[in-house]
Chains A and B, each alone.
Chain A
Amino acid sequence: MAEVTEHAVDRSRLQVSDEVAIQINDMNKWYGTFHVLRDINLTVNRGERIVICGPSGSGKSTLIRCINRLEEHQAGDIIVDGTELSSDLKNIDKIRSEVGMCFQHFNLFPHLSILDNCTLAPIWVRKVPKREAEETAMHYLEKVKIPEQADKFPGQLSGGQQQRVAIARSLCMKPRIMLFDEPTSALDPEMIKEVLDTMIELAEEGMTMLCVTHEMGFARQVANRVIFMDAGQIVEQNEPEEFFNNPKSDRTKLFLSQILGH
């Protein structure tokens, strides 16, 4: 398995605290009559980097989308940062402003410049003064190494650059948790690395991350836990070394042999 990045990841810097960031208890979700998520139980501590993998349709995207209420769950509890997700709009808004999310197709706002993409939510949601929001935005754009693109529009950037802008846009809200929904699946191989590098840096700074991805190199280097899902349930979870070298369930073995086989 190829290393995703040249700079060695210093795992000793990746600390996990005892504090709970996300608590999911017996969560169930249906699309109409289709039971997408079944009895999900998951505790995420602050600073954890969790990679969720599984075949398509296994519910992994739906799971992380439930955490910031892009999808509604019908049974069980989700508690994010001590706030319970219910239909209470105040709680939803609070959680959404604490939880950043990056999408497979970036979902940048094409009619706004890169800088405006980054300052929009801080200005309107956090009521940060425009100047301050712009300074923060430039800080994070520098962090993802594209400050020089600030005045361009998303359509003028490459896929990898767009995804890094999307990460910067989320970070501008100073989230405590980041969700990644297949952030590299829509990218050319040459661009995957630049996005993963950004995500690794984020992990090293202690960000709590839940990442749906098929980048197993990333999982091995950065994750402290890998979760395998199938048919709407968590089938297996373990530390990456154990997970890849010594999978327990047959379903996991089959999946790993298929994605790592060639």
Chain B
Amino acid sequence: MAREIAFVRSEMLGEKPPPASIVGVQGWIKDNLFSSVSNSILTVVALYLVFVILSGILPWIFLGIWNAESLAECREIFAERYGDGTEYACWAVVKARWHQIVFGYYSPDQYWRPILGFILIAVSIAPILFPKLPKKLFFVSFASLFLYPWLIWGGSFWTPITAALGAVIGFFAYRYVTERFGFLFGVLAGCAAALIWWSFISGFAASALQSAIPATIAQVSSLNLAGFVLSITIGIVAIVASLPIAIVLALGRQSDMWIVNKLCTGFIETIRGVPLITLLFVATVLLNYFLPRGVEFDVILRVNILVTLFTAAYIAEVIRGGLAALPKGQYEAADALGLTYWQAQRQIILPQALKISIPGIVSNFISVFKDTTLVSIVALNDPLGIANNIRANSDWNGIVWELYGFIALIFWVVCFSMSRYSMYLERKLQTGHR
């Protein structure tokens, strides 16, 4: 008999629930932990290893001592409680010295300054991180650009005020010129106006106001900036300032204009070809040879500029990757609609390229924040430098893990938050394509 191949379905099938093996806890365990004999063995071995490691570390952490005057005292208490030779963490050092690690060498009655500074930073990045917050918070962001350095370094209150005025003047110049001559000239005019104000006028204005209404807080030398105040200052400045520079560099490297292209490429490749430590040496030692006699840049300012440029070069390459990943059709569609180069970049290209680049950009932010510890090379006291100083004290000589563990924890919390935020941002910007 011939095989029957004709078939007509008389009714469509409904949905059925999936089998238990692929949903629920049971399904998950079977799928992920015990899917085969060799996987089961690996699971058991891995669980055992985790147990061994945690059973060593957790008691050390949680049986540690918080109240003691020195490492020797810690050891006496351990010997008394658990017998000779048993040692757990001596957290007393953290309790006694944490404020140095965080605030550096500020005198305790000045601690309000870095604390207020940190709060300002938190409030000013909030509207960038969470767009739902009211836009007015950007005024805080703007103000803290000038208030934060004042809080950290001190001096006349009128210096940040007149400096901020320069930015306001630059902004209005930008707006005025943009309306008449376009975006590019607007940016140039804005920068020029602000620079003129800062270099020739704001100094006089500040001292005039200072003599009229004195308002000063104690000055803190850059050499006394240390610990996480130093790390966060350098890190934040590098993060905030490097992104716009990186965007300009990346666009320049993509540009058809030969000179712009070569300048940007040369800059990026030079900076990326040199280790950060070398650049820091340049910043602290060599730069002085090139500057005219008597011209003195603050050491932190110099370090900051170099770290920022270093980060910008790396991020520029990440952004260039994002730009290259955009289909050519996006540029063509923008062109075909009659958008100008800058309009297309701002509305179409950069939003997408930056979105693609978020993971790379944030991982550069994370690494620059950790790289701030390298400033110990040029005699600035990063948190690790402070830890060394604490360990040099006879009370705490011999302590290692507790201090470094504490510093590592702070770094980890900051870096992990950045990483989680970048994932949140990626999810939020996901619009269902690709």
A contact set with B: CB distance below 8 Å: 68-70, 93, 96-97, 99-101, 103, 105-111, 120-121, 124-125, 153-156, 169-170, 173
- Do residues A93 and B338 form an inter-chain contact, with CB atoms below 8 A? yes
Q: Contact check: which of A70, A101, A110 meets B433 at CB < 8 Å?
A: A110
Complex interface bits, B336-356 against A, C-beta within 8 A gives 1, otherwise 0: 111110010001100110010
The yes or no answer to B24 lying at the interface (CB within 8 A) is no
Is B431 an interface position by the 8 A CB rule? yes
Name the prevailing secondary structure of the B interface residues: helix
Closest partner residue, chain B, to A116 (CB atom):
B347
In the bound assembly, the distance between CA atoms of A195 and B59 in angstroms comes to 70
A125→B337 contact, CB < 8 A: yes
Would you give the shortest CB distance from B156 to chain A, in whole angstroms? Answer: 44
With most chain B CB atoms within 10 A of its CB, the pick from A93, A96, A97, A107 is A107
Lowest 8 CB-CB distances: which A-B pairs, in order? A155-B433, A155-B432, A107-B333, A107-B329, A97-B338, A121-B337, A96-B338, A110-B433
What range describes how many residues of B lie at the interface?
20 to 34
Query: Which residues on B sit within 8 Å (CB–CB) of A153?
Result: 431-433
Given contacts A153-B431, A155-B432, A156-B432, contact A109 B336 (CB under 8 A): no
Task: Looking at the assembled complex, report how far the CB atom of B332 sits from the nearest CB atom of chain A, in whole angstroms.
Answer: 6
Residues on B with beta carbons closer than 8 Å to the beta carbon of A70: 332, 335-336
Q: Write the nearest CB–CB distance from A118 to chain B, whole angstroms.
A: 10
The one of A96, A110, A170 in contact with B335, judged by C-beta atoms closer than 8 angstroms, is: A96
**Given A124-B347, A155-B433, A68 and B329 touching (CB < 8 A)?**
no
Give Cα distance in the complex from A169 to B334, angstroms. Answer: 11
Check B327 for interface membership: any CB of A closer than 8 A.
Answer: yes
B332 touches A121 (CB 8 A): no
Q: Is the CB of B335 within 8 A of A154?
A: no
CB distance from B340 to the nearest CB of A (A): 7
Q: Which residues of B contact A121 (CB under 8 A)?
A: 337-339
User: Are the C-beta atoms of A111 and B351 separated by less than 8 Å?
Assistant: yes
Whether, in the assembled complex, B330 has its beta carbon less than 8 Å from a beta carbon of chain A, the answer is yes
- Cα-based distance from A154 to B348 in the complex (angstroms): 14
Are B431 and A110 in contact (CB-based, < 8 A)? Answer: yes
Complex partner residue of B352 from A100, A103, A110, A156, CB under 8 angstroms = A110
> In the bound complex, do residue B330 and residue A109 qualify as a contact, i.e. CB atoms below 8 Å apart?
yes
Q: Considering only CB atoms, which chain A residue lies closest to B330 in the complex?
A: A107
Task: Let me know if A68 and B336 touch, CB within 8 A.
Answer: yes
**List of A residues within 8 angstroms of B434 by Cβ:** 110, 155
- Most chain A CB within 10 A, of B327, B332, B343, B434, is at B332
Contact A105 B351 (CB under 8 A): no
| 15 additional A-B residue pairs with CB within 8 Å, beyond A68-B336, A125-B337 | A70-B332, A70-B336, A100-B336, A103-B336, A105-B329, A107-B330, A109-B333, A109-B352, A110-B352, A120-B348, A121-B337, A124-B339, A124-B343, A124-B347, A155-B433
Once the chains bind, are B429 and A101 in contact (CB under 8 Å)?
Answer: no
